Structures are given as structure tokens and as C-alpha cells.
């Protein structure tokens, strides 16, 4: 039934087409979802989310027992998602006081969170100390000194990791590279020894390990292997020079996701687990280091494919011998990735999945920017006003980066599973939009 619809491989694993030719996700007819909840609507397949959590836990732990999977909350976080991550037994990588607060609101065990960020405020660090965040991943010398001072004032001694920038190049978009030497994140290798020595000397901090994160949408293992080698070389050198003991190693995330049919399928978790854990073992053996406790931080690869955006088609504008614009009722306010990163995505008509392609169409958002283009030159059946357009791989970063441009309302989100849909975030209203205004 679906073998002649290649784009379905980009949708959640529990996706199909019913007798009416409608797209079905998690047993729910997406056309009916659009009618019930309105559009734009983001739909998350709950089973797909849980399966990814299980996959990462299983594949890494059977190769490196005791590995802790930390979900990178910046990819997508709301209270329902935080609760799901808690139920699946994952930890959480958080980067702000807001994310910390969302986790706390569902009684997420904050001792299982790692607090990241290149410019944490004093208030956020006080919040982390008060809440008992498990690890604070320190990014720079300013933060080291500020955290030591704040910890002394609160009579706390937090456990910290240092984020090291290993200087590894990854072949991805410049805006999602984080491990090269010219980065706002972390201590570069040239200052890493000083950072470790400083952290060890501060009385109110407990340094237990090192962290790196090299970027996102990475298909190959080689950059990770280089980074692991550099970081464990550093750890061994600091053990000889300063007696530093590496008890914990956080190797970040960034695993690839397939966003369109012109890119290869994303490797499974086992591909990264096999290579990365083997490299950690090899390098520790080479340097005579005991195996540290291992942490990984998948985010995008957990949620991206599980999320689908549904839009209602409005104006179809033909410009002879140029292109046809198909305008939808969302756009850059709910998915800025095409404008920000040049992200290339696919789509299909959810109410006419099997319809034959009639040409190429450019999907335009409704916002007052010429750059508000979701997809260029997309092969489709000819769209008509009232069609439902489904865009796959929208689970990561679309919602967290959403805004109220043109005083638009942020979208509703539903979770689907076994034919049932539940609203996990209602659509914003005018009251929400003006709540903070003072006249």
C-alpha cells in the first residue's frame, strides 16, 4: 500500500495510509486531527519517542555497561515530554533556568540532569545549586570562579564537568558546529590544562570529569573518534602532571537525522555505540586509565522523526514560467530551520497521499518575510486550498525556536498512540500573547 510513496520513510515508524488515502500516524488519521485541533498542528508519535529512548539505552549499555543517556532537552521540551523522559529512565541535558523549571514541574529527578550553557547567569547557577542539579558542565573561566564563589556562599560543593572544545571539524552546517576551535562553547585544548588545574584548586567545586559536544547532524564516527582520542590524551596528561582522575566522560550527541530523500538514511544507534564505546576502551587501555562512567546526549535523533507538522493550504499562486507558490497557515514562526540553517525538508498532502505528482511547488509561509519559505520546488500533486500538508522530521528544534512573529499564536501539539490523541499543549490565544504587556 505504501511502497510507491518513498517519503513515508521520513515519517514516524507508525505511519501508514488508510482506505481514504489519508496519512495515518500512531493510528490517528491526520486529516481528522487537523479538523479536531486546528492547524498548524504538531503531532508526536509517542511510541516512536519511547522506542528511540530504549534504543539508545540498550545499544550503548550492552557495549559499555552503566552508560547514562541524557536527553538533550533543547531539541524539544514541554511538561509531557519531560514526563516521558522520566518514565523512560533517561537523564536530561538542560541549558537554562527555564528548562530546569519545566523538569522540576513534573518532579523530574534533578540529580539526573546536567546543566550546560556558555553564559549561565548567577541566578541560574543559584537555581541549579538550590535544586540539586546533578552536574554543572562548566564552560569557561568566568563561570568557574563565579560558581566557586556562589557555592561557598550557599555552603554547597557541586559536582562539575569541564566542557572541552577538541578542535574537531565536522562536515555539517556552520551554525550547528560546536567542537571546532573557533567556537563560543567550552575551553579550547590550548587552555584546557589551565582549566583543569584551576578547577581542581577551587575549594567549593568537585571536578569529576570532562565533556565535549562537536556538533549536530553527524553521519560519520570519525569526528567522535578524534575527539575521544584528544580528550583522553588530555586526561592522561593531566593525571601525570596534576593527579587528575577522570571519573566521568560525557561525549555529547549530534547523531544524524534524515530530513530528505537526497540524504542517506541516518545510521542506527548501534553504529555510533559500537565505534564510540570501543574507542573509549581502547584509549583508556592505551593510557592506563580506568574506564570512566560514560554519558551521551542525544536530542534531535530522539525526537526529530517522531514529530510531524500539519498545515492547511491557502493561496496557490502561479507565476507563469517562474514557479507556483503554495501558501500555508504556518511558516517561519513555527519552523525557522529552513530560513536559519537552509534546512531542506520534504512534505506530502495528508488528505491525498497517493495522488500523482503534477509538478514542483514552493511551500511558502504566511509571515511577512520573503525568506519565509519552508520548501522549494517540492514535487507534489497540485495542491488546492483546504488540503492538509504534512511535513515530516519536525520534532526537533521547530517548537523550541518558535516565536510570535506578526503576533501569531504558537501552535498546538498533540501526542498520538494506538489510535488515541491527547493535547499536550494548547494553541495560544490573544490573552496569552498580551499577558506580559503593560499599558
Give me the active site residues, please. Answer: 368
Distance CA(302)–CA(51), nearest Å, equals 9
- What is the rounded radius of gyration, in angstroms, for the C-alpha atoms of the chain? 23
7 forms beta bridges with none
Lateral strand order in the sheet of 23-25: 15-17, 23-25, 28-29
Distance CA(108)–CA(73), nearest Å, equals 12
By DSSP bridging, strand 412-417 and strand 420-425 are antiparallel
Please name the residues in contact with 98: beta carbons below 8 A apart, sequence gap of 6 or more.
none
User: Closest Cα to residue 311, out of 383, 228, 221, 203?
Assistant: 383
Would you call 6 helix, strand, or coil by DSSP? helix
> In the numeric block, which cell numbers belong to residue 114?
546536567
| Torsional class of 217: left (φ above 0), alpha (ψ -120 to 50), beta (otherwise) | left
Rounded alpha-carbon distances, angstroms, from residue 126 to 104, 146, 218, 306, 339: 15, 10, 34, 35, 36
Signed CA dihedral, 373, 32, 415, 426: sign only: positive
Amino acid at each position: 500500500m505504501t511502497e510507491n510513496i518513498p517519503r513515508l520513510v521520513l515519517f514516524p515508524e507508525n505511519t501508514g495510509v488508510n482506505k481514504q488515502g489519508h496519512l495515518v500516524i500512531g493510528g490517528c488519521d491526520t486529516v481528522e486531527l487537523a479538523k479536531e485541533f486546528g492547524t498548524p498542528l504538531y503531532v508526536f508519535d509517542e511510541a516512536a519517542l519511547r522506542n528511540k529512548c530504549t534504543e539508545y539505552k540498550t545499544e550503548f549499555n550492552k557495549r559499555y555497561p552503566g552508560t547514562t543517556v541524557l536527553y538533550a532537552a533543547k531539541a524539544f521540551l514541554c511538561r509531557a515530554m519531560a514526563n516521558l523522559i522520566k518514565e523512560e529512565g533517561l537523564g536530561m541535558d538542560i541549558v537554562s533556568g527555564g528548562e530546569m523549571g519545566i523538569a522540576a514541574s513534573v518532579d523530574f529527578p534533578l540529580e539526573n540532569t546536567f546543566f550546560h550553557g556558555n553564559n549561565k547567569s548567577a541566578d541560574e547557577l543559584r537555581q541549579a545549586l538550590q535544586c540539586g542539579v546533578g552536574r554543572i558542565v562548566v564552560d569557561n573561566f568566568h563561570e568557574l570562579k563565579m560558581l566557586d564563589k556562589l557555592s561557598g556562599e550557599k555552603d554547597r560543593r557541586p559536582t562539575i564537568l569541564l566542557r572541552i572544545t577538541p578542535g574537531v571539524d565536522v562536515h555539517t552546517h556552520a551554525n550547528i558546529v560546536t567542537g571546532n576551535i573557533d567556537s563560543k562553547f567550552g575551553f579550547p585544548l590550548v587552555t584546557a590544562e589551565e582549566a583543569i588545574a584551576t578547577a581542581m584548586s577551587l575549594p567549593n567545586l568537585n571536578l569529576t570529569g570532562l565533556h565535549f559536544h562537536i556538533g549536530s547532524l553527524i553521519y560519520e564516527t570519525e569526528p567522535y573518534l578524534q575527539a575521544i582520542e584528544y580528550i583522553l590524551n588530555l586526561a592522561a596528561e593531566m593525571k601525570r602532571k596534576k593527579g587528575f582522575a577522570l571519573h566521568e566522560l560525557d561525549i555529547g550527541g549530534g547523531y544524524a537525522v534524515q530530513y530528505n530523500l537526497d540524504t542517506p538514511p541516518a545510521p542506527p544507534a548501534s553504529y555510533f555505540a559500537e565505534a564510540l564505546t570501543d574507542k573509549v576502551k581502547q584509549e583508556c587501555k592505551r593510557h592506563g586509565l580506568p574506564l570512566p562512567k560514560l554519558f551521551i546526549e542525544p536530542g534531535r535523533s530522539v525526537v526529530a522523526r517522531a514529530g510531524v507538522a500539519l498545515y492547511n493550504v491557502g493561496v496557490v499562486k502561479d507565476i507563469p514560467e517562474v514557479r507556483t507558490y503554495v501558501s500555508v497557515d504556518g511558516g517561519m514562526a513555527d519552523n525557522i530551520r529552513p530560513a536559519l540553517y537552509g534546512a531542506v525538508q520534504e512534505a506530502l498532502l495528508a488528505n491525498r497521499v497517493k495522488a500523482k505528482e503534477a509538478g514542483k511547488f514552493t511551500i511558502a509561509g504566511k509571515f511577512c518575510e520573503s525568506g519565509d519559505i519552508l520548501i522549494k520546488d517540492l514535487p507534489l500533486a497540485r495542491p488546492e486550498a483546504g488540503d492538509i500538508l504534512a511535513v515530516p522530521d519536525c520534532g526537533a528544534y521547530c517548537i523550541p525556536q518558535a516565536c510570535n512573529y506578526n503576533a501569531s499564536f504558537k501552535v498546538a501539539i498533540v501526542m498520538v498512540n494506538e489510535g488515541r490523541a491527547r493535547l499536550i499543549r494548547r494553541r495560544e490565544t490573544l490573552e496569552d500573547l498580551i499577558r506580559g504587556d503593560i499599558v
